[in-house]
Structure 1
Amino acid sequence: MNISKMSTAFALVGGLAVSASAFASGINITPSLKAVDVLHGGKPVTIERTSDKNATIPLAYAKVSRACPPFCVQPMTVASGVDTVGELEVLGYLKRISNGDRSVMVVDSRESAWVNRGTIPGAVNTPWNMINVDVAGTFEVEAEAEGLHDILINKFGAKLDNGHWDFRNAKTLVLFCNGIWCPQSSINIKTLVKMGYPAYKLKWYRGGVQSWVSVGLTTVKP
Protein backbone atom coordinates (compact mmCIF):
# COMPACT_ATOMS: atom_id res chain seq x y z
CA MET A 1 0.00 0.00 0.00
CA ASN A 2 1.44 3.36 -0.98
CA ILE A 3 1.63 6.35 1.38
CA SER A 4 -1.41 8.14 -0.08
CA LYS A 5 -3.63 5.06 0.30
CA MET A 6 -2.34 4.49 3.83
CA SER A 7 -3.19 8.09 4.68
CA THR A 8 -6.70 7.63 3.27
CA ALA A 9 -7.25 4.50 5.33
CA PHE A 10 -6.11 6.21 8.52
CA ALA A 11 -8.24 9.26 7.76
CA LEU A 12 -11.34 7.14 7.34
CA VAL A 13 -11.02 5.52 10.75
CA GLY A 14 -9.29 8.38 12.50
CA GLY A 15 -11.19 10.26 15.13
CA LEU A 16 -13.51 7.38 16.02
CA ALA A 17 -14.33 7.37 19.70
CA VAL A 18 -12.68 4.70 21.81
CA SER A 19 -14.25 3.76 25.11
CA ALA A 20 -12.34 3.79 28.40
CA SER A 21 -12.43 0.00 28.38
CA ALA A 22 -10.83 -0.21 24.94
CA PHE A 23 -8.27 -2.75 26.06
CA ALA A 24 -10.37 -4.46 28.73
CA SER A 25 -11.57 -7.47 26.74
CA GLY A 26 -8.55 -7.78 24.50
CA ILE A 27 -10.91 -8.23 21.54
CA ASN A 28 -10.49 -4.92 19.76
CA ILE A 29 -10.97 -4.07 16.09
CA THR A 30 -7.51 -2.49 16.00
CA PRO A 31 -5.10 -1.90 18.90
CA SER A 32 -6.68 1.52 19.51
CA LEU A 33 -10.23 0.92 18.26
CA LYS A 34 -12.71 -0.94 20.43
CA ALA A 35 -16.00 -0.27 18.67
CA VAL A 36 -17.79 1.98 16.20
CA ASP A 37 -21.27 3.40 16.77
CA VAL A 38 -23.44 3.64 13.66
CA LEU A 39 -27.10 3.99 12.75
CA HIS A 40 -29.10 1.19 11.16
CA GLY A 41 -32.67 1.93 10.20
CA GLY A 42 -32.48 5.05 12.32
CA LYS A 43 -31.46 3.13 15.45
CA PRO A 44 -28.01 3.13 17.08
CA VAL A 45 -25.94 -0.02 16.72
CA THR A 46 -22.47 -0.65 18.11
CA ILE A 47 -20.15 -2.56 15.80
CA GLU A 48 -17.56 -4.55 17.70
CA ARG A 49 -15.84 -7.92 17.60
CA THR A 50 -17.43 -10.73 19.53
CA SER A 51 -15.79 -11.63 22.82
CA ASP A 52 -17.22 -15.16 22.69
CA LYS A 53 -14.13 -17.35 22.50
CA ASN A 54 -16.24 -20.23 21.16
CA ALA A 55 -17.76 -18.23 18.30
CA THR A 56 -17.25 -19.60 14.80
CA ILE A 57 -18.09 -18.49 11.28
CA PRO A 58 -21.82 -19.04 10.55
CA LEU A 59 -22.45 -22.20 8.55
CA ALA A 60 -23.84 -20.21 5.60
CA TYR A 61 -20.33 -18.81 5.06
CA ALA A 62 -18.35 -21.93 5.95
CA LYS A 63 -18.99 -23.66 2.63
CA VAL A 64 -15.93 -23.56 0.36
CA SER A 65 -17.14 -25.45 -2.74
CA ARG A 66 -19.40 -23.32 -4.94
CA ALA A 67 -20.24 -23.79 -8.62
CA CYS A 68 -18.37 -21.50 -11.02
CA PRO A 69 -20.01 -19.94 -12.89
CA PRO A 70 -21.58 -18.02 -11.34
CA PHE A 71 -19.73 -18.20 -8.00
CA CYS A 72 -16.20 -17.63 -9.25
CA VAL A 73 -13.28 -16.06 -7.38
CA GLN A 74 -13.38 -12.33 -8.03
CA PRO A 75 -10.32 -10.26 -9.02
CA MET A 76 -8.80 -7.74 -6.63
CA THR A 77 -9.63 -4.87 -8.99
CA VAL A 78 -13.21 -4.87 -10.25
CA ALA A 79 -12.96 -1.90 -12.62
CA SER A 80 -10.45 0.81 -13.46
CA GLY A 81 -10.58 3.66 -10.95
CA VAL A 82 -12.75 1.75 -8.42
CA ASP A 83 -11.04 1.32 -5.05
CA THR A 84 -11.18 -2.06 -3.34
CA VAL A 85 -11.62 -1.53 0.40
CA GLY A 86 -11.45 -3.57 3.59
CA GLU A 87 -13.21 -3.65 6.93
CA LEU A 88 -11.57 -0.54 8.41
CA GLU A 89 -12.45 1.58 5.39
CA VAL A 90 -16.05 0.32 5.51
CA LEU A 91 -16.22 1.25 9.20
CA GLY A 92 -14.94 4.71 8.33
CA TYR A 93 -17.64 5.23 5.73
CA LEU A 94 -20.31 3.94 8.12
CA LYS A 95 -19.14 6.39 10.78
CA ARG A 96 -19.33 9.25 8.29
CA ILE A 97 -22.90 8.27 7.48
CA SER A 98 -23.89 8.06 11.16
CA ASN A 99 -22.37 11.52 11.65
CA GLY A 100 -24.75 12.90 9.06
CA ASP A 101 -22.80 12.62 5.80
CA ARG A 102 -25.48 12.05 3.16
CA SER A 103 -23.00 11.87 0.31
CA VAL A 104 -22.10 8.26 1.14
CA MET A 105 -24.10 5.03 1.14
CA VAL A 106 -23.00 1.50 2.01
CA VAL A 107 -24.95 -0.89 -0.23
CA ASP A 108 -25.76 -4.52 0.52
CA SER A 109 -26.20 -5.96 -2.98
CA ARG A 110 -27.68 -9.29 -1.86
CA GLU A 111 -31.25 -10.53 -2.12
CA SER A 112 -33.51 -10.56 0.94
CA ALA A 113 -32.99 -14.24 1.76
CA TRP A 114 -29.32 -13.52 2.49
CA VAL A 115 -29.93 -10.13 4.11
CA ASN A 116 -32.32 -11.82 6.55
CA ARG A 117 -29.41 -13.91 7.82
CA GLY A 118 -27.58 -10.75 8.84
CA THR A 119 -26.08 -7.67 7.26
CA ILE A 120 -23.53 -5.00 8.09
CA PRO A 121 -25.05 -2.38 10.42
CA GLY A 122 -25.69 0.87 8.56
CA ALA A 123 -25.89 -0.77 5.13
CA VAL A 124 -28.87 -0.18 2.84
CA ASN A 125 -30.17 -3.16 0.89
CA THR A 126 -30.42 -2.71 -2.86
CA PRO A 127 -30.65 -6.20 -4.39
CA TRP A 128 -28.20 -6.81 -7.22
CA ASN A 129 -30.95 -7.63 -9.72
CA MET A 130 -32.53 -4.21 -9.21
CA ILE A 131 -29.41 -2.61 -10.70
CA ASN A 132 -27.92 -5.15 -13.05
CA VAL A 133 -28.90 -4.94 -16.69
CA ASP A 134 -26.52 -7.45 -18.25
CA VAL A 135 -25.72 -10.70 -16.49
CA ALA A 136 -25.66 -13.07 -19.46
CA GLY A 137 -23.78 -16.21 -18.56
CA THR A 138 -24.15 -15.69 -14.82
CA PHE A 139 -27.60 -15.15 -13.32
CA GLU A 140 -29.51 -14.32 -16.52
CA VAL A 141 -31.71 -11.73 -14.85
CA GLU A 142 -32.25 -8.21 -16.12
CA ALA A 143 -33.33 -5.22 -14.08
CA GLU A 144 -36.48 -3.34 -15.05
CA ALA A 145 -35.54 0.06 -16.48
CA GLU A 146 -38.16 1.90 -14.46
CA GLY A 147 -37.01 0.35 -11.21
CA LEU A 148 -33.36 0.99 -12.01
CA HIS A 149 -34.07 4.64 -12.81
CA ASP A 150 -35.90 5.01 -9.51
CA ILE A 151 -32.93 3.62 -7.58
CA LEU A 152 -30.43 5.83 -9.38
CA ILE A 153 -32.50 8.97 -8.81
CA ASN A 154 -34.14 8.46 -5.42
CA LYS A 155 -31.50 6.34 -3.67
CA PHE A 156 -28.19 7.25 -5.26
CA GLY A 157 -28.83 10.90 -6.06
CA ALA A 158 -28.28 10.82 -9.84
CA LYS A 159 -30.33 12.90 -12.28
CA LEU A 160 -31.73 12.03 -15.70
CA ASP A 161 -31.55 15.04 -18.01
CA ASN A 162 -32.91 14.68 -21.54
CA GLY A 163 -32.04 11.00 -21.61
CA HIS A 164 -28.54 11.50 -20.19
CA TRP A 165 -27.43 10.61 -16.68
CA ASP A 166 -25.88 13.31 -14.50
CA PHE A 167 -23.85 11.81 -11.64
CA ARG A 168 -22.18 14.99 -10.40
CA ASN A 169 -24.18 15.00 -7.16
CA ALA A 170 -24.57 11.23 -6.90
CA LYS A 171 -23.52 9.48 -3.70
CA THR A 172 -20.29 7.63 -3.14
CA LEU A 173 -21.35 3.97 -2.98
CA VAL A 174 -19.60 1.23 -1.03
CA LEU A 175 -20.95 -2.04 -2.42
CA PHE A 176 -20.60 -5.54 -1.03
CA CYS A 177 -22.22 -8.97 -1.24
CA ASN A 178 -21.32 -12.36 0.26
CA GLY A 179 -17.60 -12.65 -0.33
CA ILE A 180 -14.79 -13.02 -2.83
CA TRP A 181 -16.74 -15.78 -4.61
CA CYS A 182 -19.88 -13.65 -5.00
CA PRO A 183 -20.25 -11.70 -8.29
CA GLN A 184 -23.33 -9.66 -7.37
CA SER A 185 -21.70 -6.45 -6.17
CA SER A 186 -18.92 -6.61 -8.76
CA ILE A 187 -21.44 -6.99 -11.59
CA ASN A 188 -23.39 -4.03 -10.26
CA ILE A 189 -20.26 -1.89 -10.14
CA LYS A 190 -19.42 -2.77 -13.74
CA THR A 191 -22.99 -1.93 -14.77
CA LEU A 192 -22.89 1.45 -12.99
CA VAL A 193 -19.52 2.33 -14.53
CA LYS A 194 -20.87 1.40 -17.96
CA MET A 195 -23.79 3.77 -17.37
CA GLY A 196 -21.39 6.61 -16.56
CA TYR A 197 -21.29 6.47 -12.76
CA PRO A 198 -17.89 7.97 -11.82
CA ALA A 199 -15.45 5.22 -10.83
CA TYR A 200 -14.04 7.35 -8.00
CA LYS A 201 -17.52 7.38 -6.44
CA LEU A 202 -17.64 3.58 -6.33
CA LYS A 203 -15.91 1.50 -3.65
CA TRP A 204 -15.88 -2.29 -3.51
CA TYR A 205 -15.75 -4.26 -0.29
CA ARG A 206 -14.52 -7.44 -1.95
CA GLY A 207 -14.49 -9.55 1.22
CA GLY A 208 -18.17 -8.93 1.87
CA VAL A 209 -20.14 -10.50 4.68
CA GLN A 210 -17.98 -13.63 4.76
CA SER A 211 -14.90 -11.59 5.63
CA TRP A 212 -16.93 -9.40 8.01
CA VAL A 213 -18.16 -12.36 10.09
CA SER A 214 -14.79 -14.14 9.87
CA VAL A 215 -13.28 -11.46 12.12
CA GLY A 216 -16.27 -11.50 14.46
CA LEU A 217 -17.77 -8.12 13.60
CA THR A 218 -21.36 -7.28 14.51
CA THR A 219 -24.20 -8.04 12.08
CA VAL A 220 -27.88 -7.15 12.31
CA LYS A 221 -31.05 -8.70 10.95
CA PRO A 222 -33.98 -6.75 9.45
Structure 2
Amino acid sequence: MDERVRRTVETYERVADEYADRHGDRSVVADIVEAFVTAVDGAATDSARVDPATPGGEPDPAGPPRVLDVGCGPGWESAAFAEADFDTVPFDLTRSFLDRARECVPDGTPVRGDMRALPFADGGFDGLWACASLLHVPERDVPATLAEFERVLADGGVALVSLEAVGGPGEEIDASPYDDDRRHFERYDPDRARDLFETAGFEVVSVATDDGGSDDDADAGDDWVAVTARV
Protein backbone atom coordinates (compact mmCIF):
# COMPACT_ATOMS: atom_id res chain seq x y z
CA MET A 1 0.00 0.00 0.00
CA ASP A 2 1.21 3.51 -0.80
CA GLU A 3 2.73 5.08 2.32
CA ARG A 4 0.53 8.18 2.03
CA VAL A 5 -2.60 6.07 1.83
CA ARG A 6 -1.45 3.90 4.72
CA ARG A 7 -0.89 6.95 6.94
CA THR A 8 -4.31 8.31 6.00
CA VAL A 9 -6.06 5.07 6.92
CA GLU A 10 -4.12 4.79 10.19
CA THR A 11 -5.20 8.30 11.14
CA TYR A 12 -8.86 7.59 10.41
CA GLU A 13 -8.74 4.33 12.36
CA ARG A 14 -7.48 6.29 15.36
CA VAL A 15 -9.78 9.32 15.13
CA ALA A 16 -12.98 7.69 13.82
CA ASP A 17 -15.05 8.70 16.85
CA GLU A 18 -13.78 12.28 16.84
CA TYR A 19 -14.34 12.50 13.09
CA ALA A 20 -17.94 11.38 13.51
CA ASP A 21 -18.48 14.01 16.19
CA ARG A 22 -16.99 16.75 14.01
CA HIS A 23 -18.90 15.96 10.84
CA GLY A 24 -22.20 14.49 12.01
CA ASP A 25 -24.20 17.48 10.77
CA ARG A 26 -24.84 16.51 7.15
CA SER A 27 -26.91 19.55 6.23
CA VAL A 28 -23.88 20.88 4.35
CA VAL A 29 -24.28 18.16 1.71
CA ALA A 30 -28.07 17.86 1.78
CA ASP A 31 -28.56 19.65 -1.54
CA ILE A 32 -26.08 17.56 -3.51
CA VAL A 33 -27.40 14.36 -1.91
CA GLU A 34 -30.88 15.28 -3.12
CA ALA A 35 -29.58 16.10 -6.61
CA PHE A 36 -27.67 12.82 -6.75
CA VAL A 37 -30.70 10.78 -5.68
CA THR A 38 -32.79 12.41 -8.40
CA ALA A 39 -30.12 11.79 -11.03
CA VAL A 40 -29.68 8.14 -10.05
CA ASP A 41 -33.42 7.55 -10.15
CA GLY A 42 -33.39 8.76 -13.74
CA ALA A 43 -30.29 6.80 -14.69
CA ALA A 44 -31.72 3.55 -13.34
CA THR A 45 -34.80 3.63 -15.57
CA ASP A 46 -33.12 2.05 -18.59
CA SER A 47 -30.11 0.58 -16.85
CA ALA A 48 -28.22 -2.43 -18.15
CA ARG A 49 -26.33 -2.92 -14.90
CA VAL A 50 -24.97 -6.27 -13.82
CA ASP A 51 -24.75 -7.95 -10.42
CA PRO A 52 -22.12 -5.78 -8.64
CA ALA A 53 -21.10 -8.52 -6.22
CA THR A 54 -19.46 -10.78 -8.77
CA PRO A 55 -17.01 -10.15 -11.61
CA GLY A 56 -18.59 -10.87 -14.98
CA GLY A 57 -22.11 -10.77 -13.58
CA GLU A 58 -25.14 -11.14 -15.81
CA PRO A 59 -27.20 -8.08 -16.82
CA ASP A 60 -29.73 -7.41 -14.07
CA PRO A 61 -31.79 -4.25 -14.70
CA ALA A 62 -34.58 -5.25 -12.33
CA GLY A 63 -34.83 -4.08 -8.76
CA PRO A 64 -33.98 -0.78 -7.07
CA PRO A 65 -31.17 1.49 -8.24
CA ARG A 66 -27.73 0.38 -7.06
CA VAL A 67 -25.33 2.89 -5.57
CA LEU A 68 -21.70 2.54 -4.52
CA ASP A 69 -20.65 4.92 -1.72
CA VAL A 70 -16.89 5.19 -2.23
CA GLY A 71 -15.10 6.29 0.91
CA CYS A 72 -18.34 6.03 2.84
CA GLY A 73 -16.84 7.07 6.18
CA PRO A 74 -19.30 6.42 9.02
CA GLY A 75 -22.03 5.70 6.48
CA TRP A 76 -24.13 8.84 6.71
CA GLU A 77 -24.84 9.15 2.99
CA SER A 78 -25.14 5.39 2.61
CA ALA A 79 -28.01 5.61 5.08
CA ALA A 80 -29.60 8.43 3.08
CA PHE A 81 -29.40 6.39 -0.11
CA ALA A 82 -30.86 3.35 1.62
CA GLU A 83 -33.73 5.52 2.86
CA ALA A 84 -34.31 6.46 -0.79
CA ASP A 85 -34.81 2.73 -1.44
CA PHE A 86 -31.48 2.33 -3.22
CA ASP A 87 -29.50 -0.90 -2.99
CA THR A 88 -26.47 0.71 -1.35
CA VAL A 89 -22.95 -0.64 -0.93
CA PRO A 90 -20.85 1.27 1.63
CA PHE A 91 -17.18 1.02 0.61
CA ASP A 92 -14.14 2.17 2.59
CA LEU A 93 -10.60 1.21 3.48
CA THR A 94 -11.02 2.13 7.16
CA ARG A 95 -12.42 -0.70 9.29
CA SER A 96 -13.66 1.63 12.04
CA PHE A 97 -15.77 3.53 9.51
CA LEU A 98 -17.22 0.33 8.08
CA ASP A 99 -18.25 -0.76 11.57
CA ARG A 100 -20.26 2.46 11.85
CA ALA A 101 -21.63 2.06 8.33
CA ARG A 102 -23.03 -1.35 9.27
CA GLU A 103 -25.03 0.35 12.00
CA CYS A 104 -26.25 3.06 9.60
CA VAL A 105 -27.24 0.59 6.88
CA PRO A 106 -28.20 -2.64 8.68
CA ASP A 107 -29.53 -4.21 5.49
CA GLY A 108 -26.45 -3.29 3.48
CA THR A 109 -23.23 -5.18 2.91
CA PRO A 110 -20.25 -2.91 3.57
CA VAL A 111 -17.13 -3.79 1.61
CA ARG A 112 -13.57 -2.98 2.61
CA GLY A 113 -11.18 -2.12 -0.17
CA ASP A 114 -9.09 0.42 -2.05
CA MET A 115 -10.94 2.68 -4.49
CA ARG A 116 -7.98 2.45 -6.86
CA ALA A 117 -8.95 -1.18 -7.55
CA LEU A 118 -12.69 -1.64 -7.02
CA PRO A 119 -13.65 -5.31 -6.43
CA PHE A 120 -16.87 -5.14 -8.47
CA ALA A 121 -18.09 -6.19 -11.88
CA ASP A 122 -18.14 -3.83 -14.83
CA GLY A 123 -21.40 -1.89 -15.09
CA GLY A 124 -22.76 -2.96 -11.71
CA PHE A 125 -24.03 0.36 -10.38
CA ASP A 126 -26.43 3.10 -11.42
CA GLY A 127 -24.71 5.66 -9.21
CA LEU A 128 -21.36 6.26 -7.55
CA TRP A 129 -20.95 8.75 -4.72
CA ALA A 130 -17.52 9.84 -3.46
CA CYS A 131 -17.80 12.66 -0.93
CA ALA A 132 -14.44 14.00 0.28
CA SER A 133 -12.72 10.68 -0.33
CA LEU A 134 -10.98 10.86 -3.72
CA LEU A 135 -9.00 13.80 -2.34
CA HIS A 136 -6.95 11.32 -0.29
CA VAL A 137 -5.71 9.47 -3.39
CA PRO A 138 -2.24 10.58 -4.53
CA GLU A 139 -2.66 12.74 -7.63
CA ARG A 140 -0.70 10.38 -9.84
CA ASP A 141 -3.24 7.62 -9.11
CA VAL A 142 -6.36 9.70 -9.72
CA PRO A 143 -6.70 9.05 -13.49
CA ALA A 144 -6.66 5.27 -12.94
CA THR A 145 -9.05 5.63 -10.00
CA LEU A 146 -11.54 7.58 -12.09
CA ALA A 147 -11.24 4.91 -14.77
CA GLU A 148 -12.30 2.42 -12.10
CA PHE A 149 -15.28 4.62 -11.22
CA GLU A 150 -16.28 4.69 -14.90
CA ARG A 151 -15.83 0.93 -15.23
CA VAL A 152 -18.24 -0.07 -12.47
CA LEU A 153 -21.03 2.25 -13.63
CA ALA A 154 -23.72 1.04 -16.01
CA ASP A 155 -24.33 2.91 -19.25
CA GLY A 156 -25.97 6.18 -18.28
CA GLY A 157 -24.80 5.81 -14.69
CA VAL A 158 -24.10 8.90 -12.60
CA ALA A 159 -21.06 9.80 -10.51
CA LEU A 160 -20.93 12.64 -8.02
CA VAL A 161 -17.48 13.32 -6.60
CA SER A 162 -16.61 16.19 -4.26
CA LEU A 163 -13.08 17.52 -3.90
CA GLU A 164 -11.54 20.47 -2.12
CA ALA A 165 -10.75 23.20 -4.63
CA VAL A 166 -7.81 25.39 -3.67
CA GLY A 167 -4.85 26.67 -5.65
CA GLY A 168 -3.36 24.86 -8.60
CA PRO A 169 -3.90 21.36 -9.95
CA GLY A 170 -2.95 18.55 -7.64
CA GLU A 171 -1.85 20.84 -4.81
CA GLU A 172 -0.90 18.82 -1.73
CA ILE A 173 -1.74 20.38 1.64
CA ASP A 174 -0.95 19.73 5.28
CA ALA A 175 -4.18 19.75 7.27
CA SER A 176 -3.93 19.08 11.02
CA PRO A 177 -7.28 19.26 12.80
CA TYR A 178 -6.43 16.12 14.80
CA ASP A 179 -3.48 15.26 17.02
CA ASP A 180 -0.76 13.58 14.96
CA ASP A 181 -2.81 14.02 11.80
CA ARG A 182 -0.99 12.15 9.03
CA ARG A 183 -3.65 12.17 6.34
CA HIS A 184 -2.71 12.87 2.74
CA PHE A 185 -4.74 15.44 0.79
CA GLU A 186 -4.82 16.71 -2.77
CA ARG A 187 -6.77 19.77 -3.87
CA TYR A 188 -7.87 20.58 -7.41
CA ASP A 189 -9.13 23.58 -9.28
CA PRO A 190 -12.40 23.10 -11.21
CA ASP A 191 -10.73 23.01 -14.63
CA ARG A 192 -8.33 20.27 -13.56
CA ALA A 193 -11.21 18.27 -12.07
CA ARG A 194 -13.17 18.52 -15.33
CA ASP A 195 -10.16 17.45 -17.38
CA LEU A 196 -9.57 14.39 -15.20
CA PHE A 197 -13.14 13.19 -15.57
CA GLU A 198 -13.27 13.75 -19.30
CA THR A 199 -9.99 11.91 -19.78
CA ALA A 200 -11.43 8.96 -17.84
CA GLY A 201 -14.31 8.72 -20.32
CA PHE A 202 -17.03 10.57 -18.42
CA GLU A 203 -19.43 13.11 -19.83
CA VAL A 204 -19.20 15.97 -17.35
CA VAL A 205 -22.66 17.31 -16.52
CA SER A 206 -21.56 20.04 -14.11
CA VAL A 207 -18.67 21.30 -12.03
CA ALA A 208 -19.96 23.35 -9.11
CA THR A 209 -18.08 25.08 -6.32
CA ASP A 210 -19.39 25.94 -2.88
CA ASP A 211 -18.16 26.91 0.58
CA GLY A 212 -18.25 23.62 2.45
CA GLY A 213 -18.56 25.18 5.87
CA SER A 214 -16.32 22.52 7.41
CA ASP A 215 -15.60 22.79 11.11
CA ASP A 216 -12.05 21.51 10.64
CA ASP A 217 -9.75 24.47 11.28
CA ALA A 218 -7.63 23.60 8.28
CA ASP A 219 -10.64 23.45 5.98
CA ALA A 220 -12.89 26.24 7.22
CA GLY A 221 -13.96 28.61 4.48
CA ASP A 222 -12.39 26.58 1.67
CA ASP A 223 -14.34 25.88 -1.47
CA TRP A 224 -15.44 22.44 -2.54
CA VAL A 225 -15.81 21.39 -6.14
CA ALA A 226 -18.56 18.87 -6.88
CA VAL A 227 -18.30 17.09 -10.22
CA THR A 228 -21.41 15.42 -11.60
CA ALA A 229 -20.67 13.15 -14.55
CA ARG A 230 -22.28 10.38 -16.59
CA VAL A 231 -21.00 7.31 -18.36
When normalised by structure 2's length, the TM-score is: 0.28
When normalised by structure 1's length, the TM-score is: 0.29
Return the structure number with greater strand share.
2
Return the structure number with greater helix share.
2
Larger RCO (CA under 8 A, 6+ residues apart): 1
Q: If you compute each CA radius of gyration, which structure gives the higher value, 1 or 2?
A: 1
